[in-house]
């Protein structure tokens, strides 16, 4: 699950730079994470964002806006990855780095220029272009 949190009053969106020691370290992503057993997708996204940066999201305001999947044949990775992009138009609080990542509000032009993992590149291209 990946969150497109925004736009804020300046038209910016909240992006997360993955910390050292994780897959895709140093790259910028739509923040989020995986669904735990027993959770719904919106609930999972709200939990992940709260854990990673302290923002509170309203699951009822969320709306799915895109998806990207890796090519299991080409990637040869341990498991297939399907990433859903969810628009989160309302939030409360200010982002803080609670798990080592970096947080920034950026406009679409700035997001275009960021180094991103492959699936986030696809999601951003479809969502912002």
Ligand X SMILES: Nc1nc2c([nH]c(=O)n2[C@@H]2O[C@H](COP(=O)(O)OP(=O)(O)OP(=O)(O)O)[C@@H](O)[C@H]2O)c(=O)[nH]1
126 binds ligand X per the rule CB under 6 A: no
CB atoms inside a 10 Å sphere around CB 96? 10
Phi, psi of 14 (to 5 degrees): -90, 120
Q: Which residue, 11 or 115, has its beta carbon nearer to ligand X?
A: 115
Strands 2-5 and 82-88: parallel
Residue from 9, 23, 76, 129 that binds ligand X (CB under 6 A)? 23
Shortest gap between Cβ of 48 and ligand X (angstroms)? Answer: 7
Shortest gap between Cβ of 9 and ligand X (angstroms)? Answer: 27
5 binds ligand X per the rule CB under 6 A: no
Asked if 31 contacts 104 with a C-beta cutoff of 8 angstroms, the reply is no
3-class secondary structure, 40: coil
120 binds ligand X per the rule CB under 6 A: yes
33 binds ligand X per the rule CB under 6 A: yes
Q: Which residue, 6 or 32, has its beta carbon nearer to ligand X?
A: 32
Q: Which residue, 7 or 33, has its beta carbon nearer to ligand X?
A: 33
Query: Given the structure tokens 């509170």, which residue do they identify?
Result: 56
Shortest gap between Cβ of 75 and ligand X (angstroms)? Answer: 7
Q: CA–CA distance from 29 to each of 9, 10, 38, 68, 73 (Å)?
A: 21, 20, 25, 13, 23
Q: What does the binding site for ligand X look like in residue numbers (CB under 6 A)?
A: 22-24, 29, 33-34, 70, 77, 81, 83, 117-120
């Amino acid at each position: 699950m990946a969150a497109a949190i925004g736009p804020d009053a300046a038209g910016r969106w909240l992006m997360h730079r993955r910390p050292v020691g994780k897959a895709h370290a140093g790259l910028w992503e739509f923040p989020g994470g995986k669904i735990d057993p027993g959770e719904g997708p919106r609930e999972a996204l709200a939990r992940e964002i709260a854990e990673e940066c302290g923002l509170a999201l309203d699951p009822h305001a969320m709306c799915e806006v895109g998806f990207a999947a890796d090519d299991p044949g080409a990637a040869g990775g341990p498991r297939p990855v399907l990433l859903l992009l969810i628009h989160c138009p309302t939030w409360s609080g200010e982002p803080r780095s609670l798990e080592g990542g970096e947080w920034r509000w950026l406009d679409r032009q700035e997001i275009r220029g960021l180094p991103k993992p492959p699936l986030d590149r696809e999601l951003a291209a479809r969502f912002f272009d």
